[in-house]
């Protein structure tokens, strides 16, 4: 059976950062990612990042991906980092710490790592409404993948559900790709995303329907329209139903952490609404209640890619230092800086929700 | 709740509707594990990634419990469907 010192599950911003740090301490690292191409969400993000200079504010997401790929390449050449793409980790068996994975659909194998960093990212939330199973109903992530990775327009006229950052950014990108956006529907009385994104949309004349919800998709075989309606503060329907002309419905309701492997590993889990779902309890170095498992990025709670990269660096470094006593000094020095960078990213009003969520799952250290 | 809403497909993989789920919750099958056994929800290709949240919310709503009081069920490998042949050691072509 294949063995490795560190296994990183997921090759998005968190996983790539973790793998780079672990390899920099001299560990043998294997990184597995279910997609054909590494980078997670970064490769489809054509917008410029906010956040901080250290985390590449002002740089477009896919360019940040390229910077990480350069670092990955370096450790690959040195033989410290092995990449498995198109590879899904299908199970963690806590009895013996063995991990199963498939490459494509035809190869199944096992690997025994000494330490694991789970950077499995997030999955999209859905809401149920009549005809939501018709072709033409997409998650926002799927639309972004179609457009920005494969160059395929999802439709001609899109109704966006959700005015958080994802809904706003994907709406703008749809328009950049020449797709019409019929409107954005948001259940809350205010826009969830940044004003600068919302302003761009409004300047292009796209209506944002606050305190509205989708009540039905129209169509027989494919989407031929949608019905939306106003709701009050208790989410009860008020006002008159309104028909929207569209051939695609894109749901940007929100994300929730992907944590199946953490559950099967028996990690202590907690439901934290501010982090958008069940997440693993962890210490400041991102170690879970399972002594061999670390967590980072959206899998640890939904946040932005900037924070995911720093968490990944901390987790990768800490997992590596647990195997290399000579790395402990390095961990001490670097983690002080990384923790400060996280604190900066989470400062102010926009970080309040995250800070409140983290208070509920972070512990000083495991006893 | 209109008939249309009862026909909402909640588990797309196994084509289970909101109405069916509500009926079984009202019969006392008010955990995800029980609903999985009677309706196969969450047992298709996506392994509950699409429907688990919606179903847990529906259970919470109908039983008056808080969301985090509902047992979210046990996660078992594999995380995605894999062909039996490849774990059974079928020779590679």
What's the CATH number where B41 sits?
Answer: 1.10.10.1100
Residue B92 covered by a domain? no
- Find the length of chain A: 367
pLDDT, position B90: 65
pLDDT, position A367: 61
CA diameter of chain B: 55
Q: Which residues of B touch A299 (CB under 8 A)?
A: none
pTM of the model: 0.94
What is the residue-wise DSSP string for A244-309?
Answer: E--SEEEE---EEE--HHHHHTT--EEEEGGGTEEEE-EETT-BBSSTTEEE-GGGGS---HHHHH
Any idea which architecture A126-251 has in CATH? 3-Layer(bba) Sandwich (3.50)
Q: Which residues of B touch A93 (CB under 8 A)?
A: 77
The mean pLDDT of B25-43, rounded to a whole number, is: 95
How many Cβ atoms from other residues are within 10 Å of residue B14's Cβ?
A: 17
A226, A131 Cβ separation under 8 angstroms? no
Q: Is A170 helix (H, G, I), strand (E, B) or coil?
A: helix
Report the candidate in B14, B18, B16, B15 with the shortest Cα–Cα distance to residue B6: B18
- Please report, rounded to a whole number, the percentage of residues in chain B having pLDDT higher than 90: 63
Residue B93 covered by a domain? no
Answer whether B7 sits within 8 Å of A277, measured CB to CB: no
- Taking only the tens of pLDDT, chain A with its 367 residues reads 999 999 999 999 999 999 999 999 999 999 999 999 999 999 999 888 888 888 888 899 999 999 999 999 999 999 999 999 999 999 999 999 999 999 998 899 999 999 999 999 999 998 999 999 899 999 999 999 999 999 999 999 999 999 999 999 999 999 999 999 999 999 999 999 989 999 999 999 999 999 999 999 999 999 999 999 999 999 999 999 999 999 999 999 999 999 999 999 999 999 999 999 999 999 999 999 999 999 999 999 999 999 999 999 999 999 999 999 988 899 999 999 999 999 999 998 889 999 999 999 998 777 6
Answer whether B53 sits within 8 Å of A256, measured CB to CB: yes
pLDDT band at B84 (very low <50, low <70, confident <90, very high): confident
Q: Which of the 8 DSSP states describes residue A149?
A: I
Query: Does B93 have pLDDT greater than 70?
Result: no
Query: Does B64 have pLDDT greater than 60?
Result: yes
Mutation to test the A interface, candidates B78, B87, B90, B93, most A Cβ within 10 Å: B78
Is B90 in the A-facing interface, judged by CB distances under 8 Å?
no
For A129, A239, A303, the CA distances from A352, given in Å and listed in that order, are 32, 34, 12
Fold (CATH) for A2-123+255-363: FAD/NAD(P)-binding domain (3.50.50)
A–B CB contacts, 8 A cutoff, strictly below = 70
Selecting from A89, A132, A271 the residue whose C-beta is nearest the C-beta of B9 gives: A132
| In chain A, domain spans | 2-123+255-363, 126-251
> Which distant-in-sequence residues (6+ apart) come within 8 Å of A96 by Cβ?
A112
Answer whether B10 sits within 8 Å of A107, measured CB to CB: no
Write the ipTM: 0.91
Is B72 in the A-facing interface, judged by CB distances under 8 Å?
yes
Domains: count for chain B: 1
Provide the token pair at A105: 């659909």
Give the domain range for residue B72: 3-87
């Amino acid at each position: 059976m294949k063995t490795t010192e560190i296994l990183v599950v997921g090759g998005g911003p968190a996983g790539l950062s973790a793998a780079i740090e672990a390899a920099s301490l001299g560990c043998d690292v294997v990184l597995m990612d279910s997609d054909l191409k590494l980078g997670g969400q970064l490769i489809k993000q054509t917008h410029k990042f906010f956040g901080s200079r250290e985390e590449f504010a002002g740089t477009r997401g896919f360019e940040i991906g390229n910077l990480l790929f350069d670092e990955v390449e370096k450790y690959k050449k040195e033989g410290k980092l092995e990449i498995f793409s198109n590879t899904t980790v299908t199970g963690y068996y806590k009895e013996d710490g063995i991990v199963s994975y498939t490459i494509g659909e035809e190869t199944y194998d096992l690997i025994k790592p000494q330490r694991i960093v789970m950077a499995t990212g997030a999955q999209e939330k859905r809401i149920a409404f009549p005809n939501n199973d018709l072709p033409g109903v997409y998650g926002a992530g799927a639309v972004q993948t179609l457009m920005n990775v494969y160059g395929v327009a999802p439709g001609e006229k899109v109704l966006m559900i959700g005015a958080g950052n994802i809904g706003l950014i994907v709406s703008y990108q749809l328009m950049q790709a020449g797709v019409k956006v019929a409107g954005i529907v948001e259940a809350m009385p205010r826009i969830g995303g940044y004003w600068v994104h919302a302003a761009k949309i409004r300047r292009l004349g796209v209506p944002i329907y606050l305190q509205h919800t989708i009540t039905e998709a129209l169509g027989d075989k494919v989407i031929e329209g949608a019905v939306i309606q106003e709701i009050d503060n208790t989410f009860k329907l008020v006002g008159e139903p309104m028909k929207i002309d569209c051939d695609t419905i894109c749901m940007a309701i929100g994300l929730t952490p992907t944590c199946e492997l953490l559950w099967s590993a028996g990690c202590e889990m907690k439901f934290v609404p501010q982090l958008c779902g069940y997440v693993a309890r962890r210490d400041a170095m991102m170690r879970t209640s399972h002594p061999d498992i670390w967590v980072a990025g959206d899998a640890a709670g939904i946040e932005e890619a900037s924070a995911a990269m720093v968490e990944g660096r901390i987790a990768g470094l800490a997992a590596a230092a647990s195997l290399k006593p000579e790395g402990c000094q390095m961990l001490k020095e670097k983690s002080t800086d990384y923790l400060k960078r996280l604190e900066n990213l989470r400062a102010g009003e926009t970080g309040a929700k995250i800070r409140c969520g983290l208070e509920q799952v972070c512990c000083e250290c495991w006893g | 709740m209109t008939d249309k809403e009862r026909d909402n497909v909640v588990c797309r993989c196994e084509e289970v509707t909101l109405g069916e789920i509500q009926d079984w919750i009202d019969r006392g099958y008010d955990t995800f594990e029980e609903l999985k056994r009677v309706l196969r929800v969450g047992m298709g290709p996506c392994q509950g990634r699409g429907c688990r949240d919606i179903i847990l919310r529906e259970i919470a709503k109908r039983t008056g419990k808080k969301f985090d009081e509902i047992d979210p069920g046990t996660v078992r490998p594999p995380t995605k469907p894999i062909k039996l042949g490849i774990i059974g050691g079928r020779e590679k072509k």
